[in-house]
Chain A
Amino acid sequence: MSEYVVEMKDIIKTFGQVQAVKNGQFNLRKGEIHSLIGENGAGKSTMMKLLYGMYPINSGEIIIKGERMGEITPMMAIERGIGMVHQEFMLVSELTVLENIILGFEPRKGLRLDLDKARADVRKYIEEYQMDVQLDKRISQISVGEAQRVEIIKTLMRGADVIILDEPTAVLTPQEAERLFEILENLKSSGKSIVFISHKLNEVMQISDRISVMRQGQYMGTVNKSETSPLDLTKRMIGREVFLNIEKDYGKVGEKILDVQDVWVSSNKETSKIRGMSLSVRAGEIVGVAGIDGNGQSELVEAITGLRKVEKGKVIVCGKDVTNKSVKVIRGAGMAHIPEDRNRMGLDRAMSIRDNLVTVRVDEAPFSKHGILQLSAQDAYSEQMVKEFDIRPTDYHLPTSSLSGGNAQKVVVAREVSMKKQLLIASQPTRGVDIGAIEQIRNTLEKAKKEGSGVLLVSAELEEIISLSDRIIVIHEGKITGEMMASEANENNLGLLMMGGAKGGAEHA
C-alpha cells in the first residue's frame, strides 16, 4: 500500500461542452491537512465531488486506500471512509440536529428510531473533538457555524477518516472560522486526513501541511506550506501577480442620490436582519459595501430596490421618498439594479436575449406603442447592445439559457446600465463570471460613475471592493460597523470590521 490514502491521477471531467477538469492530480497522506486552492471555477470542488462519487469521471484513475475504483457512488465513498462537508450544507432544516446526524444510518429499536442510542453515540464525538452542538434544536434554529459542526459530526458518525471540506469558511465569521480550525487540528491529531478547499490564502497558509493549486481545470502543482508564500500561491492560482487594478479617479462628488435613513428589514435568518442602518451615495462616487455573506447585504439591497418590505425607516432616491414603494416607482425615480443572483432574478432563461434586454422598459416607447410591441425597435436596440457590450453569441433571438455565465451577466449589465439611471445598485456583479468579463463589467461601473451616476457596490470580494470603491461601508449582522475612504482601506482593517470590530482573530484577517 502506498503512502497515500487517496490518489487521483490524470482526471478529466466534462459537462457537455465545458471541460471542468482537464488534468486533475491530487493525493492525500494520512493525518495531513491538504489544501486545494484556486479561483472560482478552477475545478477544485468538482475534483472532490468526483472523489465522493457525485459524478462519474470521463477518464483518469482514482485510488482509495490502495483500491482502484472503477466506479464510485456516494455510498461507496462513504463505506471507504470518505466524508464530505458540502459548500451548501446537506442538512434538512425542519429536522432536528440529531435526526440529521443519523439520517441514512439510523439505529432502530423494533420499528422505532432509537434516539437514545443515537444520542449516546453522538455524544462520544462531541466530547472527543469538543464540537458542542444542540442535538434537539432544528437546523433552522442554529447558527451556520453550528450547522457546519453538525456536518462534520455526520461524516465522523459514518466512520470517515478522510474529510473533505468545500469552502468551509465562506459562510463563517472569523471567530467561527477560528473554532473550525481548532477542530480540524484535533481531527488531524487523531489521525484523520483532511482536504480543505478554499481560495483564501491567509487561511490556507495558517492551517495546511501541503497545498495543491488548480487553475482553469488544470493542476498547477503541490507545495509544502513551509516552502511557499502567499505571493507564490497567487501567481500559481491566477497566472499573474496582481490583476484587474482599475485606474481610480476620485471625480467630483455631487448631491445625494441615495439616502437610507435608519432602516429596519426582515429576513429568514437572524444574522441577516437589518436593525437600524443609515447610509448614503452621492452622484459620481462608488460606495462599496463589504461584509461576510449573509450579514444583511442581500436584504439591504432588496429593501432599497423595493423587493423587500422596509419595516422601519426611510429610503430616499433622487430626493424622492420611495420607502415601500413598488419596484416600478423606485426604478422610475432613477434606480437601476444588477442583482446578485442573475439566474433567479436577473434573467428569464427561457426567453430570448432581446426579450431580456427590453423587460424594464417594455411599456415605454419605442419598445411598445399603445400596448403593442414594436419588434423592429427592439431588434435595433438589441443589435446595438450586443455590439456595445460584446455579448456572444450575437444572435439576440437565442434564449439566455444558451449563454455562458459571463455573457449572461453582460446582458444584465447592458439592460441596467444602458438606461443611464442616476443610481446603480450592483450586487456581486462579477460573481461566477470569467476574468475577461470581470474586467469589462468593472470598467462599465467605473464609466457609469464618471458619467455622474452614484453606484452602490455590494461584493464578497474585498479586492473588488477596495479597487473599485471611493468610500467603503462595512456591515456585520445587519449593522454598519465602520466606514472609511478606500484610500485608507486594506484587507486588515476591513476584515476587523467585518467581524463586528471584535478583537479576537484580527491577526489572522
Chain B
Amino acid sequence: MSFFSIMSKVLNLSLIYASFRAATPIIYAALCASVTQQANILNIGTEGIMLIGAFTAVTVSYFTGSWILGVLCAMLAGVVIALIMAVGHIKFGADICGIGMGINMLALAITKFLLKAIYDVNGAFSSPQIKVIPKVSIPFLDNVPVIGTLLNNWSLTEWFAIILIIVLQFFIFKTVWGLRLRAVGQFPEAAKTAGIKVNAVKYRAMAISGLIGGLAGAHLSLGYSSQFIENMTSSRGFMGVAAMYFGGANPVKASIGCLLFGFADSIGARLQAYGLPSQFVLMMPYIVTIVVLAISMAAQLRSAKRRQSSLN
C-alpha cells in the first residue's frame, strides 16, 4: 500500500473526533493546572488529583449506581487532595514540586491499596455495575452527513469540557475573581497593598483546581472509559501541565495544545494498524508534548529578546 493511500485512510473525518476525545482528559488536566498557575502555583499534583478522582468516581458509581454521585464525589475528593497541597504549600512552606510529587505518589499508592482492600483485585477493576457518564445522542443529527459523524454521541463530559474552557476563560479575564487571581499570581505584594487577602485567593484557586482535577479523573474513568486501572492517568496530568505552559495558563490556548497531543495520540493509534510498533504509538504523545513545549518556550524567549533589543 502506498504512503498516500495509508494517509488518506488515516486522515479522515473521524480523526477529528478521535483527537478531541483523546484530548479531553488532558484538557481538564490543563485547566486544573492553569487555574493555580494564574496564582503562580505550579500544580504538579494534577496527576495525583486526577487519579484519586478517577478511583472515587468508579467506586461511588459502583456502590450507588449513580454516575452523578460518582462525579460529584470525585470532585469533592479532588478538592480535599488539592487543599492538602494548598495547606502544605501556603501554610507550612512546602516546596510545591516536592509536595506535588508526594501527592502523586500518594495517589498511586492509595488507589492501589484501596483497589486491593475494597475489591481484592490487582491492576484493574471493572464491572457492569459501574454506571458511566451518558452519551448525548441527538437523533436528528444522525441524518446530517458531516456534522452527524462529528458531533453525535459525545459523552456528556466531553461537551462539558468545551463549556468549562469558555467559562474559565470568562472568569479569569472578565470577572473580579479573575482579576484578583491574576494580580495575586503576578505580584502578590501589589495585591496585598490593594487590600486583597492573597492567601485566601490562593486557597480558592487550589480548591477550584481540585474540583476540575477531580472531574478530570471522573471523566477518565466514567466517560473516557468505564473502569479503573492502576495508574490509568499515565502522565496525562503532566501533559496537562505541559499544555498549561504551552498556553501560558490561558485556558483556550492551553486547550489548543491539548488537541495537538490528542492528535498525535490518535494518529499513532491508526498507524498501528499498518505495522507501527505499539510502543512507538504510546510514546508519541509524550514526545510531541516535549517538542511542543520546547518550541513554545523558545518562541517566548525569542519574542522577549526582540522586544528588549536596542537595535529597533
Interface residues of A (CB under 8 A from B): 54, 74-75, 78, 84, 86, 89-95, 99-100, 102-106, 108, 111-113, 154, 264-268, 273-275, 311-312, 478
Which of B104-112, B185-193, B290-298 lies at the interface? B185-193
A74, B175: Cβ atoms under 8 Å? no
Q: Write the chain A residue with the least CB distance to B174.
A: A112
A86, B310: Cβ atoms under 8 Å? no
* Given known contacts A94-B182, A103-B194, A104-B194, A478 and B175 CB-to-CB distance under 8 angstroms: no
A94, B186: Cβ atoms under 8 Å? yes
- The interface residues of chain B lying within 8 Å CB-to-CB of A102 are 179
- The interface residues of chain A lying within 8 Å CB-to-CB of B193 are 54, 74, 84, 86, 90
B310, A267: Cβ atoms under 8 Å? yes
Q: Report how far A94 CA is from B195 CA in the complex, Å.
A: 19
Over the window 299-312 of chain B, the binary record of Cβ atoms lying under 8 Å from chain A Cβ atoms (1 yes, 0 no) is 00000010111110
A311, B195: Cβ atoms under 8 Å? no
Q: Report how far A89 CA is from B308 CA in the complex, Å.
A: 21
B176, A91: Cβ atoms under 8 Å? no
B175, A90: Cβ atoms under 8 Å? no
Q: Report how far A54 CA is from B182 CA in the complex, Å.
A: 22
Q: Would you mind naming 5 contact pairs between A and B with Cβ atoms under 8 Å apart? A: A91-B190, A92-B187, A92-B190, A273-B309, A312-B310
A84, A274, A311, A312 interface centre (most CB from chain B within 10 Å)? A311
A264, B311: Cβ atoms under 8 Å? yes
B186, A95: Cβ atoms under 8 Å? yes
Partner of A90, one of B171, B182, B189: B189
B308, A266: Cβ atoms under 8 Å? yes
CB distance from A49 to the nearest CB of B (A): 10
Chain B count of residues within 8 A CB distance of the other chain: 24
B311, A311: Cβ atoms under 8 Å? yes
A90, B305: Cβ atoms under 8 Å? no
Q: Report how far A290 CA is from B310 CA in the complex, Å.
A: 21
B176, A74: Cβ atoms under 8 Å? no
A113, B186: Cβ atoms under 8 Å? no
B179, A103: Cβ atoms under 8 Å? yes
- The interface residues of chain A lying within 8 Å CB-to-CB of B305 are 266
Is B196 among interface residues, defined by CB-CB distance under 8 A? Answer: yes
Over the window 144-185 of chain B, the binary record of Cβ atoms lying under 8 Å from chain A Cβ atoms (1 yes, 0 no) is 000000000000000000000000000100111001101100
- The interface residues of chain B lying within 8 Å CB-to-CB of A311 are 309-311
A95, B183: Cβ atoms under 8 Å? yes
Over the window 190-230 of chain B, the binary record of Cβ atoms lying under 8 Å from chain A Cβ atoms (1 yes, 0 no) is 11111110000000000000000000000000000000000
- The interface residues of chain B lying within 8 Å CB-to-CB of A264 are 310-311
CB distance from B32 to the nearest CB of A (A): 22
A113, B175: Cβ atoms under 8 Å? yes
B194, A113: Cβ atoms under 8 Å? no
Q: Report how far A31 CA is from B182 CA in the complex, Å.
A: 37
Partner of B187, one of A90, A266, A267, A478: A90
Q: Report how far A86 CA is from B310 CA in the complex, Å.
A: 30
Partner of A74, one of B186, B192, B311: B192
Interface residues of B (CB under 8 A from A): 171, 174-176, 179-180, 182-183, 186-187, 189-196, 305, 307-311
- The interface residues of chain A lying within 8 Å CB-to-CB of B191 are 92, 103-104
- The interface residues of chain B lying within 8 Å CB-to-CB of A91 are 187, 190
Q: Report how far A273 CA is from B310 CA in the complex, Å.
A: 5
B187, A113: Cβ atoms under 8 Å? no
A93, B308: Cβ atoms under 8 Å? no
- The interface residues of chain A lying within 8 Å CB-to-CB of B179 are 95, 99, 102-103, 106, 113
Partner of A268, one of B171, B187, B308: B308
Q: Report how far A93 CA is from B305 CA in the complex, Å.
A: 18
Q: Write the chain B residue with the least CB distance to A102.
A: B179
Q: Write the chain A residue with the least CB distance to B196.
A: A104
Query: Closest 9 A-B residue pairs measured CB to CB?
Result: A104-B194, A90-B190, A273-B310, A266-B308, A104-B195, A106-B176, A103-B194, A264-B310, A90-B193
Q: Report how far A266 CA is from B189 CA in the complex, Å.
A: 28
Q: Report how far A78 CA is from B194 CA in the complex, Å.
A: 9
Q: Report how far A5 CA is from B265 CA in the complex, Å.
A: 68
* Given known contacts A104-B196, A113-B176, A478 and B183 CB-to-CB distance under 8 angstroms: no
A78, B310: Cβ atoms under 8 Å? no
A103, B190: Cβ atoms under 8 Å? yes
Q: Report how far A112 CA is from B177 CA in the complex, Å.
A: 9
Q: Report how far A185 CA is from B307 CA in the complex, Å.
A: 37
Partner of A312, one of B171, B175, B307, B311: B311
CB distance from A450 to the nearest CB of B (A): 36
A267, B308: Cβ atoms under 8 Å? yes
Q: Report how far A113 CA is from B170 CA in the complex, Å.
A: 11
Q: Report how far A266 CA is from B194 CA in the complex, Å.
A: 33
* Given known contacts A103-B194, A112-B175, A92 and B186 CB-to-CB distance under 8 angstroms: yes
Partner of A266, one of B171, B195, B309: B309
- The interface residues of chain B lying within 8 Å CB-to-CB of A108 are 175-176
A78, A94, A104, A111 interface centre (most CB from chain B within 10 Å)? A104
Q: Write the chain A residue with the least CB distance to B186.
A: A92
CB distance from A314 to the nearest CB of B (A): 15
- The interface residues of chain A lying within 8 Å CB-to-CB of B182 are 92, 94-95
CB distance from A197 to the nearest CB of B (A): 16
- The interface residues of chain A lying within 8 Å CB-to-CB of B309 are 266, 273, 311
CB distance from B218 to the nearest CB of A (A): 26
Q: Report how far A112 CA is from B171 CA in the complex, Å.
A: 8
Q: Report how far A99 CA is from B173 CA in the complex, Å.
A: 11
B176, B182, B194, B309 interface centre (most CB from chain A within 10 Å)? B194
- The interface residues of chain A lying within 8 Å CB-to-CB of B186 are 92-95
Q: Report how far A100 CA is from B195 CA in the complex, Å.
A: 13
Q: Report how far A86 CA is from B190 CA in the complex, Å.
A: 10
Q: Report how far A104 CA is from B194 CA in the complex, Å.
A: 5
* Given known contacts A84-B193, A103-B190, A113-B176, A92 and B308 CB-to-CB distance under 8 angstroms: no
- The interface residues of chain A lying within 8 Å CB-to-CB of B308 are 266-268, 273
Q: Other CB < 8 Å A-B pairs besides A103-B191, A113-B179, A266-B310, 8 of them?
A: A74-B195, A75-B195, A90-B190, A91-B187, A103-B183, A103-B196, A154-B194, A266-B308
A478, B310: Cβ atoms under 8 Å? yes
- The interface residues of chain A lying within 8 Å CB-to-CB of B307 are 268
CB distance from A275 to the nearest CB of B (A): 5
Q: Report how far A205 CA is from B311 CA in the complex, Å.
A: 41
A103, B180: Cβ atoms under 8 Å? yes
Q: Report how far A275 CA is from B196 CA in the complex, Å.
A: 41
Q: Write the chain A residue with the least CB distance to B311.
A: A311
Q: Report how far A94 CA is from B179 CA in the complex, Å.
A: 11
- The interface residues of chain A lying within 8 Å CB-to-CB of B310 are 264-267, 273-275, 311-312, 478
Q: Report how far A104 CA is from B188 CA in the complex, Å.
A: 12
Q: Write the chain A residue with the least CB distance to B190.
A: A90
Q: Write the chain A residue with the least CB distance to B197.
A: A75
